[in-house]
Amino acid sequence: MKGLDSLDVAGRVVLLRADLNVPLDGTTITDDGRIRASLPTINRLRERGGRVLITAHLGRPKGDSYADRAAGGPSLAPVAARLAELLGVPVPLATDVAGDSARAIAAGLADGDVAMLENIRFEPAETSKDDAVRAELAARLAALADVYVGDGFGALHRKHASVYDLPALLPHAAGELVEAEVAVLEQLILDPARPYVVVLGGAKPSDKLAVIANLLDKADRILIGGGMSYTFLRAQGYEVGKSLLEADRLEDVRKIMDAAADRGVEIVLPVGAVDFGPEAEHEVYPVTAFPADRESLDMGPATRDLFAAKLADAATVFWNGPVGVFEFPAFAAGTRAVAAAISERPGLTVVGGGDSAAAVRRLGLPEDGFSHISTGGGASLEYLEGTTLPGLAALAGEQPA
C-alpha cells in the first residue's frame, strides 16, 4: 500500500475518500472528531498543490432513487461548513455526487482549494451488490479527478464504489489517517507488549464473537461489559432480568469461554454489582441476586473496581464499546471508570472508534490520555478479526499505467 509521497498531486484534482460520518442532532454536529482526524491528509495535499475534491458518506439515506435519498437527507452541508471553519478556507459543496454540479466544482478548483461532493450514499449505486452498477458510478467519479487518495478508514470494510471500485481507475494512495490506523492495529496483532488487555462492550456479543475468537491467540485478558455482558452472564447461569440478551448465542458464548479457558486467556465479566433503573432512581445489585423484572444499564461500583484492577498492569490495551448507556449521566459511571483506568496506562492504549470514541469526547475525557483513538469501530474490529478489508485490498492494488 503506497502513501501520499508516491503521488504527484501538484496542479491535479485529488479525489479524496474521507470518513466524515459525524453524528448529527438535526443539522448540528455533536462530535466533529472524524472531521478533525481528516485534516492532516487534507492539509498535506493542499501544501503540495493538490486540488482536493472530497467524497464522503453521512448516515444511511433511505429510498430507491437518488431523488428520494437526496430529499430525505442527510446532506453534507453541515460537514462542509465545519470543515471550512477548521481549515479557514471556503469549502463549496456540490449539489450532486457526480453530475453537472460536481463537474463544475471540480473544474473550478485551483491549487490548494478544497471542495466537497454531496453525500455519496445519495447514489444507490454506491452500496449496490451488483459489480456493474458500482463500476458505473466509480467511472463517473473517476472522470472528475486525476488521482485518488483513500483516507476513510471507517469505510474500508465496505465493498462500496467509492472505496473498493474507484481506486483501480486512477493512480491511488492511502492517506495519512489510514496509514496511522493500520500501523496501530498491526501493533495489536503482531507483537503487542504484555500483558495485553482487551475491553469489549456494546450491545450484542454477535457483533464481537469473531474478534474474541481471533484475539484468543493474542490477548492475555478480555474484559467484557455493556449489553453484551448479560449474554455472557446468562451463559454462566446468572439471572439477568430484562437486560439485553441474545438467547440464540448462548451456546456460542459458552464455546468461546471454554476456548479461552483452554488457551489460558482470562475472561472477566461484571461480577460485583450492576446498576439498574430509570434515570431518576437506580439501585445496585450483585449479579448473583439480580431481580428477574429489572434491567441493567450500567456496571456497579464493585465491577468498576474489578475492571480497573484488571487493567492496572496492562502494557497494551484495546477498547471497543461502551460498558453502559453512557449517554445518560445516571449510567455513565462504568464507561467513565473504564476510560479513566485505560488512560492511566503508560503503554499503547487504543480506543477502537465508534461509540467508544464518542464516549471519550462526550464525557469530557482528555483525548491525549490515549495513544490512539480510531475513527472506525467496525473497520477496526474486522481488521482484528483477521478479515481482509475490501478498501485496503483496493488501495494495495497496482496503479493503472
Task: Give the residue numbers annotated as catalytic, written as ranges.
Answer: 34, 204, 354, 378
Q: Which of 314, 364, 361, 360 is nearest to 339 (CA)?
A: 360
Q: What is the grid cell recorded at 253?
A: 458464548
- CA–CA separation, 288 vs 216, rounded Å? 27
Plot region of 63 (φ>0 → left; ψ -120 to 50 → alpha; else → beta): left
**Is the Cα dihedral 222, 226, 231, 237 positive or negative?**
positive
Residue carrying the nine cell digits 484495546 = 318
Alpha helices, DSSP H, located in 73-195: 77-87, 100-107, 131-142, 176-190
CB of 334 within 8 A of CB of 356? no
For 267, phi and psi rounded to 5 degrees?
-100, 125
Scanning 264-345, the segments in alpha helix (DSSP H) are: 301-311, 333-343
- Cβ atoms of 381 and 320 within 8 Å: the answer is yes
Distance CA 392, CA 398 (A): 12
